[in-house]
Each structure stands twice: as C-alpha cells, then as structure tokens.
Chain A
Amino acid sequence: MAVEARRLRRRPAAGASRAVRGTKFRPGAIVRFTFIAIYLAFLLVPLYWAAVTSIKPQDDLLVDPPVWWPADPTSVHYDTALNSFNGWKGLKNSLIIASSTTVLALLIGTSAAYSMARFRTGGKHLAFWFLSQRLMPPVAVIIPVFLLYSRYSSEWLGFSLIDTRTGLVLLYTVFALPFTIWMMYAYFRQMPPQLEEAALVDGCSRFQALWKVAWPLATPGLISAAAFAFIFSWTEFLFAQVLAKDHAVTLPVALAGIVAGFQGNQYGEASALTMVSLVPALFLGILVQRHLVRGLTLGAVQG
C-alpha cells in the first residue's frame, strides 16, 4: 500500500500505472478508508459520550436504553462541579502549577542544554544521565518524596512542602527536565553559533550572548518544549494525588475525587470537569502538532 502511495504521489498524472491497474475502482482504497472510519469512530464515541453526559439532566443519566442526546440540555453539572467539588480551586492550582513548572523547567533546562551544546559540558555521559531520568518510574520516588515533604522538609528547610504548589512545581520540574533538555540540546546543536560569536566580538558577555542572541533565536524550539512541559504538568496524576490532597489540589485529583467519593451518581459532574480540563491541553496539543514526533521521542526521530 505504501509503495503504491509513493508512486502515485511522485507522478500525480500517473495515467500509465492507473491504466495497468485497471480503472478508478481500487479495493485498496475501500479497505483504507473503512479502516480510517472505524478508527475515527473508536476515537470519537467515548469522547462524545463524556461530552453529552456533561450536559444531560440528572434523569437522563441512568436509563436504559441510553440517551444519546438529551431533550433539554443543562449546564447544571458544570456549575456544581466547579463550585462544590473543588473545581475552581483545582483549575486555579493546575494553571498556576503548570505555568510555573513550564517557566522553571524552561529556564533550567535551556541553560543546561545550551551549556552542553556550546561547551560540551559533561560530554556524552551527562547527556545520557539526563536521558535516563526519563526512564524513572514515578512510583519509585513517590514514597520517599512524600516522607521528605511531609516529615523532614519543615525540620530541614523551615517550611513544609506537603500539599503546597511549590512542592509539586519542584517535582514536576525535575520530571519535565529530561525532555526539555534533550529537545533544546538538539535545537541548539543545529543552530549555527556565528551570531553569538559576532555578539561576543561586539563586546557582549557570554551570558548576554545567551540571553540576547541564542534565546530569541531558539523561540520555536522553546515554544514546543514549553507546551510539552505544560501538558505534562497539567495531566500528571500520581504525584498530585499523593502530595496535594487539599490546599494544592489539581484538576485531575479533584476529578478523581468526584468519581471516588461516590454518593448517588455524579457522572454529570465528573464529565463536566473532564471537559473543562481538556480545553487547554487540546489547544496546546494542536499548537505543537508539528513538533510532536520529535517531542515524543526526545529528538531520536525527526518528524
């Protein structure tokens, strides 16, 4: 199939090969589009069901046969979810935590990547040490981090990190660093250094060359790295569930709370909060689509 695709793309007016093949009718195309259609249905039906559940009146939720479109849609679940189930608090915390993590990871990660790309700091070993952090299972560090945050941080640092946004931001930054560093490392390496050299000749310090020349030039890379860091912190669940029970509760934790603290049926509220949480992630996702492959494989595959 792939072969055929290639050949046709190369010669748009591939009259000859089509003549050989027969006529317009190609069984391959039918199989192809049937497959795409089935996959699309698989993708959209659960999404649609959650979306429609969020606007159903309570009476339409638990009925058989299922209601595919409510006779009178309502926004009451959004109201309840946001106002009485930690919705606003979760939304606010998630926004603050995700943006702070993004800024912090970008500042720290870009600096490290720049140092590695321009001065070869640490060589190959340091680069792979950063990469190996990406393989770390979160569950391996969550118990000790919980103990350190809840028990020792106030003893050693003078303030407690448990259930604070700061605590989560620090931890998320660590887990966002490997891909930030690797994405920016790849980006700086393919960026010619001549402009920074010119800036040095003109009397800039090394730091100014980074701050005033390299950073602005790396903006496209920065944007996609930022989006990945934001999406990571926006969707993370395990750390937040353990470390942020109340004051620093994030959106996924608030959502899991609705589902778990089951009293009667709160399907509507859960779906409503789900819909709210999807918006920014989807928006950013669409924004970085072009850099997706590189981001997912930490630069191993060029998209």
Chain B
Amino acid sequence: MATRVETFGRRRLRAASSSFDRHIRLWLIAPAVLIILALTIFPLAFSLWVSFVEFDFSVSNEHPWVGLDNFRDNWRDPVWIHSLKVTAILATASVVVELAIGFLLALAMLRPFRGRRPLMTLFVLPLFMSPVIVGGFFDLFLRRPFGPMNWLLNQIPWMGDVSIDFTNDFPWTFISLIIADAWQWTPFMFVILLAGLSSISDELYEAAEIDGAKPRQSFFFVTLPLLMPIVLIALTFRFIDAAKLFDIIYSLTRGGPGTDTYTSSYYLYQQGFEFFHLGQGTAGSWMFLVFLTVISFWLVRRLLKPLEA
C-alpha cells in the first residue's frame, strides 16, 4: 500500500504546482526536527561545554576551562554515589511491586463481572494525576502525628500500639516512597498486562485442554510465555521512567531525613538550583544521561528483541 502511494506521489509531484508542494515531505517534518534540535540537542551540547568550565552565575562572564574537575567533584561527593544507589534501589523495588500487584489485578479483572467498567475507570485515574500531587496525598496521609495511617494501624486489634514515622525513619521513608509510586503507576502495569491477557486466543487454551493440560499447566505453559513480550515492554517503559524519580521525592520526603532519599534527579536539581553549582550539576547530568542511555539501550535490546523475532 505504502509503495503505491509513493509511486503515485512521484508522478503527481512532477506536475506539482508550487515548490512548496514539491518539497512538502520536508516542509512537514522540518518543524519537528528543528524544535527538538533547538530545545534538547542544542542545550545538551551547550551543557557539555558548561561541564568543562567554571560556570558561576554570580561572579563574572569569564568561564575558565577546568577540564574534568566538575566530574571529579561529583565522584568526591558521597551523596552523589549514594543517590545513584537510591535511584537504582527505588526504581527496581517500585517496578517489581507495581508489576506484581498489576499482574494480580489484571488476572482478577480479566473475567467480566457486574461493575467492571466503572472499576476500570477508577483504577486508571492515578495515571492522569501529577506525581507531585500524589506525593502530597501521601504526605498528608502518612505524616505523623496527624496523618491517619498510624491511627488506622492501631485499629487492627492485635497490632498493639504502633507509631511509625513514615516520612522520617529508615526504612519507612523508602517504603512510603514505594507505596506512593506504586499507587500512581500500578495501573500502568495493570492496563498493559490486561490488554496482553485479553489478546491471548481462546484456541490455544482449547488446544492445551485437549492435550490434557490442567489449568495450572495452561497458566505456566500458555499464558506466561505468551504474555512475556508484553511484560517486557511494560517493564522497559516503566523502569526508564522510574529511574527519573523526582516529583514524589520533592513532595513527600524532600530527600530527607538528611540526604537519605536523594535520587539522582533530586541531587542534580539540588546542585543546580539550590547551590547553583552549575558546572557540577551539568557534569552530573551528563553522566546520568549516559548511564540511563546505556541501561535503556540494554533494556530495549535485551528485552524487546524477542518481539521482533
């Protein structure tokens, strides 16, 4: 179909009236390419330069070359290394939690029942909220002493007297962040996996049944293998986004207590816009970008490869 359009197009284009019409394919694509070049590629190149000079906002217009000093400053800062670990841990943990809950929920919601439709709508609502607001919800809900979470836990008869400081005590800060992130992003896993589950053809289950497979066997030998490619897509997309975690940190723990819950994004934000260490901030941003690109490509290669086969 596409080739036919193209040949038709060429014949037509030879007779095209204006030069605008003759080069329309380029005119149409140019704005998108130009605006991306102007606002991501150019700033990235600019920031590469900033990361090799001393760029202090207040002092002067002189920007002496400092070589790798800015990069070294990051690695000498234990908080930077800590933030990379926190990013890896939080991203992995929340993605695993979201995958597990999302998968179970997709299984539970697969079969139609009365009220399924409105429930579906409710379940996906968090996807349309601002993460900074979701962090705010949980701040309101968990913060001791007036958030109701501790009170709720105390209502469970055999719990005894609990008083957990969800936003200040290790490991509760991490758990709170994962809960907030899972609250927002479990629906992401859920809708994608549900689409995957519904797309598995009935005939395959019939064939398995005829071959004498028990439901458990069908699940492990039909459902799981067929669902795998979609699970991997969902994991890839979700992990890449989870590694950028910033908003929920900002509104729930503010990186605290101390610098315990600094993610890399939060650290770089602090460097750039609280301390105005712009050189160090851009150097860190570049390293973060490289890490993330390498991991993304690895994930896309490794995980999405089975799809093309």
List chain A positions with a Cβ less than 8 A from chain B.
Answer: 1-10, 32-33, 35-36, 39-40, 42-47, 49-50, 53, 61-66, 68, 107-109, 111-112, 114-122, 126, 130, 133, 135-148, 170-171, 173-174, 177, 181, 189, 192-193, 196-197, 200, 205-207, 210, 231, 234-238, 241-242, 251-252, 255-256, 259, 267, 270-271, 274, 277-278, 281-282, 284-286, 289, 292-293, 296-297, 300-303
The reply to whether B146 and A64 contact each other, CB–CB distance below 8 Å, is yes
With beta carbons under 8 angstroms apart, the residue of B24, B40, B147 that contacts A133 is B40
Known: A39-B105, A148-B46. A137 touches B130 (CB 8 A): no
With beta carbons under 8 angstroms apart, the residue of A10, A32, A136, A296 that contacts B237 is A296
A302 to B196, CA, bound (A): 9
Nearest-CB residue, chain B, relative to A131:
B300
The reply to whether B140 and A135 contact each other, CB–CB distance below 8 Å, is no
A98 to B140, CA, bound (A): 27
The reply to whether B121 and A39 contact each other, CB–CB distance below 8 Å, is no
Nearest-CB residue, chain A, relative to B109:
A36
Report, nearest first, the 7 A-B pairs whose CB atoms are least far apart: A285-B128, A235-B130, A5-B111, A144-B47, A112-B32, A144-B43, A115-B28
Q: Does B101 contact A (CB under 8 A)?
A: yes
With beta carbons under 8 angstroms apart, the residue of A138, A140, A193, A303 that contacts B1 is A193
Q: How far is the CB of A60 from chain B (nearest CB, A)?
A: 10
User: What residues of chain A lie closer than 8 Å to B8, measured between beta carbons?
Assistant: 197, 200
With beta carbons under 8 angstroms apart, the residue of B55, B109, B205 that contacts A6 is B205
The reply to whether B286 and A3 contact each other, CB–CB distance below 8 Å, is no
Known: A43-B126, A120-B6, A170-B39. A49 touches B137 (CB 8 A): yes
The reply to whether A205 and B17 contact each other, CB–CB distance below 8 Å, is yes
| In the complex, chain B residues 283-297 whose Cβ is within 8 Å of any chain A Cβ | 285-286, 288-289, 292-293, 296
Q: Does B251 contact A (CB under 8 A)?
A: yes
The reply to whether A256 and B126 contact each other, CB–CB distance below 8 Å, is no
- Number of chain B residues close to chain A: CB under 8 A: 113
With beta carbons under 8 angstroms apart, the residue of A255, A292, A300 that contacts B191 is A292
Nearest-CB residue, chain A, relative to B11:
A200
Q: Does B171 contact A (CB under 8 A)?
A: no
User: What residues of chain A lie closer than 8 Å to B188, measured between beta carbons?
Assistant: 296
Q: How far is the CB of B286 from chain A (nearest CB, A)?
A: 7
21 contacts between A and B (CB under 8 A): A3-B223, A9-B111, A35-B105, A45-B141, A63-B146, A108-B32, A111-B28, A112-B28, A114-B28, A121-B29, A126-B29, A138-B244, A141-B39, A147-B55, A197-B8, A207-B24, A238-B247, A274-B137, A277-B130, A296-B191, A303-B191
User: What residues of chain A lie closer than 8 Å to B46, measured between beta carbons?
Assistant: 144, 147-148
A236 to B132, CA, bound (A): 9
A237 to B4, CA, bound (A): 46
The reply to whether B265 and A133 contact each other, CB–CB distance below 8 Å, is no
A139 to B61, CA, bound (A): 25
Q: How far is the CB of A25 from chain B (nearest CB, A)?
A: 16
The reply to whether B32 and A130 contact each other, CB–CB distance below 8 Å, is yes
User: What residues of chain B lie closer than 8 Å to A282, measured between beta carbons?
Assistant: 125, 128-129
With beta carbons under 8 angstroms apart, the residue of A114, A196, A231 that contacts B128 is A231
The reply to whether A200 and B1 contact each other, CB–CB distance below 8 Å, is no
The reply to whether B44 and A140 contact each other, CB–CB distance below 8 Å, is yes
Given contacts A111-B28, A207-B21, A277-B133, 4 further A-B contacts (CB under 8 A): A7-B205, A66-B151, A115-B29, A140-B288
User: What residues of chain A lie closer than 8 Å to B44, measured between beta carbons?
Assistant: 140-141, 144
The reply to whether A47 and B137 contact each other, CB–CB distance below 8 Å, is yes
Known: A36-B119, A135-B293. A1 touches B107 (CB 8 A): yes
